[in-house]
Structure 1
Amino acid sequence: MEEKKSPASAAESAASGQPAAVPAAELRPGRRKFPTVGDLFAMLGIAFGAQIVVGTAAMVFLLFAGHGLDFKSLEPAALGKVMAALYFCSMSITLAGILYYRRARGGSGPWARFSARGLNPALLLWAFVLMFAVGVVLEPLLRLMPELSLEVGRGFWTILSLVIFAPIFEELICRGVVLGSLRGKFGVTTAWLVSSLFFGVLHGQPVQVINATVIGLVLGYVYLATDSLWSVMILHALNNAVAYLALATGHGNALLIDLVGSRTLYVLIYIAALALSAVSGYMMLRTLRRMKEAEKNPSAA
């Protein structure tokens, strides 16, 4: 008979930072049909296809409404409302399409996990600081990339889109469906890496691909550690809220080096960010190694 943990012991385990408990039957990677590499490309195709269809429909509507094909001609608040509607429609189609495709390809098991473990304040604070740190570490590379071109508007609807819609849809897809499915077939480490890359590619533009892939590593680890989408949705929302604040204040494409007046101070911040990223990366890899061992021997987990 399998021993059941009491709520108190489960809470103690969460506070200690131990990996989240997952049913033993779901730990061991198996020879499942879904997902293959082709399936990953197909799911990306569903996402980009939904964006193209919804975007084309929106342009036709604006054309007949007398606004022309230039979204930039709209007022910021109106643009925010349009972009929020487009995002919600395209991501709803994407999520529904991916879930249908997953089912058609034989994907099984739960694809969205939620638990109170995801509300560990210490873990969330560490992950939020780490996301900022890796962003600083990436700055020398990001400076070499084409400047991000993103028109999302301003105001309530833009905030709703970035801080509510995006975390929900993208985490359900990238951590819920993609990471969960990959873990069931290939194991925790491969799932962590590939789902992060999937998350990055989903964002399209080169700067976003690099930044989102690295952020995805942090989000993916937190999801694996907590077995809860609450945690990553909260972190994603906080990250996007900071991004919107920078955008609204005219610093959308600004890097920290552009905002810090003292070069000496920037170097010190960069060294601290690099150290935090290195130590955190090592700790994450150690935890993932323990998870991988648990997958190989579920009875000992």
Structure 2
Amino acid sequence: MNSKDIWRSVLYVILFVALFVLIQSISLVIGTQIVALLRGSEAVNGVNLSKDGECLAITAVISSLITFGLFVGMRWAPVSGNYLKTRPWGVLCWAALLGLGSILPMEFIFEKINLTMPSETEAMFESIMKVSWGYVALGVMVPIAEEVVFRGGIQRVLQNVLGERNHWIAIMVPALIFGAIHFNLAQGIHAFLIGLLLGWMYYRTGSILPGFVLHWVNNSVAYLMFNLMPHMNDGKLIDLFHGNDRMMYGGLFFSLCIFLPTLFQLGMRMKRAKEQR
């Protein structure tokens, strides 16, 4: 590892983050124009499309497609079927369970330290989740784009230059950037913690697929809860259990009974998957 390689990697990381943010900005303009054309000029008179749920959802889909195409096309985040050849079905199932097991404990911790999203950010997500494009955007496309950039792009570059001895730095840096680009403390800390898990899975497998499964489950549960349990949108975790403390702590204990064994299983199975590659 020499200083030239390190600086080259730093420049790549800056480039990847800048492109990620730039693509989102450009896509907002494109998405606004598409919605305006679909609705007609009369229908959008006096409406701020940059805060419209349908416009934001279409923007997220467009930016995710552009991001995926650019990073894969430029081979900044190489994609192949090599990992699937190891038949990692157990790893993918456990990754989904890890996503499920992390939701209640994370929510409980954030409530205890009194972390909430800014009202404008919360309103933006609610507007996206109310429209038909919402799940395609937040549940599928955004996780794909973010895993391609932060794990397949940034973490891959850092792992190559830092080597095996410093692999946790290569995991932590993308997680920190992943948290920072959410631009608020509540989402930022959550993204950082989840980013550590995603980075760990990428390091062990060399594939974004397990991380995508966890990311997809996490976002999908949020979408489902918003639409199936609307009374929870402004509520606390205790409201999910109808105000019953015993049930809430039972739910947390059950979640930990999923989360902790799942970590152990993934540690064992991803090690074997890595050795098979």
Q: Which TM-score applies when normalising by structure 2?
A: 0.70
| Aligned residue-pair number | 253
Q: Which residue of 2 aligns with 1:87?
A: 60
Q: Which of the pair is proportionally richer in helix?
A: 2
Structure 2 gaps of 5+ residues are none
Change beyond 3 A, Cα 1:277–1:236: closer
* CA deviation profile, 1:18-41 (whole Å, cap 9, x unmatched): xxxxxxxxxxx67624321x6434
Change beyond 3 A, Cα 1:83–1:59: closer
Q: Which residue of 2 aligns with 1:9?
A: none
Change beyond 3 A, Cα 1:97–1:41: same
Q: Which residue of 2 aligns with 1:146?
A: 116
Are positions 1:189 and 2:168 aligned together?
A: yes
Question: Superposition pairs for residues 125-204 of structure 1, below 5 Å?
Answer: 125-143=93-111, 144-147=114-117, 148-149=122-123, 150=125, 151-187=127-163, 188-204=167-183
Change beyond 3 A, Cα 1:154–1:140: closer
Asked if structure 2 preserves the Cα contact closer than 8 Å seen for 1:135 and 1:211, the reply is: no
Q: Which residue of 2 aligns with 1:14?
A: none
Partner AA of 2:237 in structure 1: L
Asked if structure 1 preserves the Cα contact closer than 8 Å seen for 2:99 and 2:217, the reply is: no
Among residues 185, 189, 194, which one is paired with 1:206 in the alignment? 185
Change beyond 3 A, Cα 1:97–1:163: same
Q: Which TM-score applies when normalising by structure 1?
A: 0.66
Are positions 1:35 and 2:3 aligned together?
A: no
Cα distance in 2 for residues equivalent to 1:283 and 1:193: 22
Residue 176 (structure 1) shift: 0.7
Q: Bigger CA drift: 244-253 or 174-183?
A: 244-253
Q: Which residue of 2 aligns with 1:216?
A: 195
Cα distance in 1 for residues equivalent to 2:33 and 2:77: 38
Root-mean-square deviation (CA), in Å? 4.0
Identity rate of aligned residues, in percent?
21
Change beyond 3 A, Cα 1:286–1:176: same
Are positions 1:111 and 2:78 aligned together?
A: yes
Asked if structure 2 preserves the Cα contact closer than 8 Å seen for 1:118 and 1:230, the reply is: no
Partner AA of 1:70 in structure 2: N
Cα distance in 2 for residues equivalent to 1:121 and 1:93: 29
Q: Bigger CA drift: 112-121 or 124-133?
A: 112-121
